[in-house]
Structure formats: C-alpha cells, structure tokens
Amino acid sequence: MVSDTNVALIFESVRGTSETQGSARQLVYEQICRKILDAELAPGSVLPENTLAAVREALQRLQSEGLVQVIPQVGTFVAKFELSRIREALFMREAVECAALVNVPMPIAPAMAEELRLCVTKHSDAVE
C-alpha cells in the first residue's frame, strides 16, 4: 500500500511550477489516474486534499469517473471497484487485446515480454 507521504508527493509535484493552472490541473489528474489504474494506489488509500484548486478539480474529475470517493467531513479515498464494472472492463480489454495480437511482432522481444509480465504482476497484486 502507498503511504500518505508518497501520495502527498503527487500533489507537491505541481506546486511552484511555471505551468498554467489548466495544465497543472491536467498533470495532477493524470498522475492520480495513472497511479490508481497501475494499482500503485490501492482501493481505500487516503488521498490528502489541500487547497490547490488544481487538486480539488482533479479530484472532482476523478470522482465523476468513479475512481475516487469523496466523503464530506471525512476525506477523499480511492474508490472500491464494483465486481460488475471489473468484469465488464475485463471483457472489453480481452476483446481489444485479442484484436491487437495480429500487430505484435513475433518472436516477442524479451524487454516487451518482461514489461508485460510486470504489468500482470502489479494487477494481480492489486487484486489480492
């Protein structure tokens, strides 16, 4: 599980940058989204909110997409996924991956195979 310190680093990464507010908002959104989808932030992980408008807006966007849950007066958490949504996503992913297999160079490069193994391991660990 990711510590609050590591999660806070996501938010600190946009503080004091010369980026516009819109791109800072997008950066925060992309970092949180990537960490959730890559299983670096586990369901139930606390996401510390601070006063940056970019962070609040990114969290609102993540909430609207069902990736985080905001409980007023309590905090913001990585959402727990519903089994039906996971099954639906897996069905779609399998269909896309099977269709994409025709584009995979054969034999597969060892580096690509290792990257795929790491991805599967991360997702398997997140399920446990």
Res 35 pLDDT > 70: yes
Question: Position of tokens 């516009």?
Answer: 20
pLDDT tens readout for residues 40-54: 888 888 876 654 566
Q: What is the DSSP letter of 72?
A: T
- CB atoms near residue 26 (< 10 Å): 17
Instruction: Give the list of residues 6+ apart from residue 8 with CB closer than 8 angstroms, or none.
Output: 48
pLDDT tens readout for residues 46-77: 876 654 566 788 888 899 988 899 998 888 89
Which helix (H) or strand (E) segment holds residue 76: the answer is: strand 75-78
CATH of domain 4-78: 1.10.10.10
Q: Read off the pTM.
A: 0.40
Res 113 pLDDT > 50: yes
- Residue spans of the domains in the chain: they are 4-78, 83-127
DSSP SS3 for 31: helix
